Structure 1
Amino acid sequence: MGERSWYMTREEIEVKSPSRVDGIDSEQESFQRWSYSTFLQELGQRLHNPQKSIATSIVLCQRFFTRESLAKNDPKTISIICMFIAGKVEGSPRPVDDVIAKGCRVLHGKEPSTEMCARLKGAVLTGEKFVLSTLRFDVEIEHPYEPALHWVRRWIKVEMDAKRLYQAAWNFLNDGLRSSLCLQFRPSQIAAAALYLGSRMTNVKIPCDGEKDWWLEFHVTKRQLCDICNQTLEIYQQDFLIPVKHEAKSKFGDGGLLRLEPGR
């Protein structure tokens, strides 16, 4: 499957999701997307994975749920599988037992029992084939970190300003992973929006070469830039304390939707 086939409009994501057929509305799916993305971010940090590997796991998980329903696939199980796959894809592989153990600590705050470990290990190893098949083995993911960093290094000459701008953009890029932006826009386009938001936050002026608008270098239109910025800011405005009305019955066992308290 080519990368282009993964991109959809926001309306397509919200209306055509497989989860709609099973009665999960777009608000609940947005909550679940935020929830499993937050879980993967923390799990990846506990595994000492590079941010690129963590981001890959999140994008893989989001792509999976454009093809499969949340009601039929336990998000936390799929998340752990995607983290396991991402580690191998990005050159930071972790033993499946380690991924499972740390995942259980994040979810439950304690070590999993021997029985639970065995059950989850079987689910992960079996589910890996299903997830890869669903993704059609298209697991090479590009991220916006590199184009953002490359642009800052080229255009921001004051070292302190460059550090401040890139750190702010980095934070927006990481937070943006909790939305569906990676399913709508290309990495370079998301990078441009993160740099714009970062410049507004840090008051670091974005230079212009006088010949064209700076964002055109990122192959993004002004309308797209505004849309990405607005959707990024929506992340900080949403109330994720919504009730979850559906319990997942995973094909791989250990059902139940992932629930996490909101946090940065």
Structure 2
Amino acid sequence: MNRFENKIALVTGSTQGIGAACAVRLASEGADIILNGRKFDERAEGLISQITAMGRRATFVAADVSATQNVVNLVNDAIKVYGSIDILVNNAGVEKNHNFLDVTEDEYDFVMDTNLKGIFFGIQAFVKYCVSYNKPGVVVNMSSVHEEIIFPHFAAYCASKGGLKMLTRNLATELAPFNVRINNVAPGAISTPINHALIENAELLEKVLKNIPMKKLGKPEDVAAVVAFLASADAEYVTGSTYFVDGGLTYHYEEQ
């Protein structure tokens, strides 16, 4: 099924993990892909080969999305690659593990600039393009279960994801007249490179799994499937929502 035939998607932070899975999933359903990361490397090269083997086009555009002008340039450069963009997946994100009392301003700014400010102005650049050409658009933001639940020692990260939750709800109303939909996907514990230390620590992993009703980590492909749904016409009446992909973690509660 080619839900994305003749569609072009930009996926930020797409050289590994969830971003790479999103790029591959969208390509598998017919989309041409603009990949993104801080620099071109063997991971990007492998993804381009994988996507082109599907009969789709794939190009890499380097950009550090923590800087506003970089992310605006990324969107504009991506539009030039194939002449248009239909789908923006804001996947790039960072986290810093620090006690609240030890967080520096530079660390706070890096997290907020990447996870919220960059997304804000990337969406703005994309919507300006959609409005200029009177064409519909879809935005899917990669949030986290921590837009909703606490994560001690990751205060800046939680603040960025909480801000993204409200930004998405606000923009859903503001952008609806332009036929632009926007939603969040909120992964829980997913087996990705960022969770390598967790996966390798049996004791810590066991503690995490006790809080997940399904008793397992998710896969990047689980998240990508929801992103593909939200980006597709199957979700044409869905905007302003967050879809949790967490095995039941977020609202899990048991009487002891």
The alignment's TM-score, normalised by the length of structure 1, stands at 0.28
Give the number of the structure with larger relative contact order, counting CA–CA contacts within 8 Å between residues 6 or more apart: 1
Instruction: Identify the structure with the greater strand proportion.
Output: 2
Instruction: Identify the structure with the greater helix proportion.
Output: 1
The alignment's TM-score, normalised by the length of structure 2, stands at 0.29
Larger Rg computed on CA atoms: 1
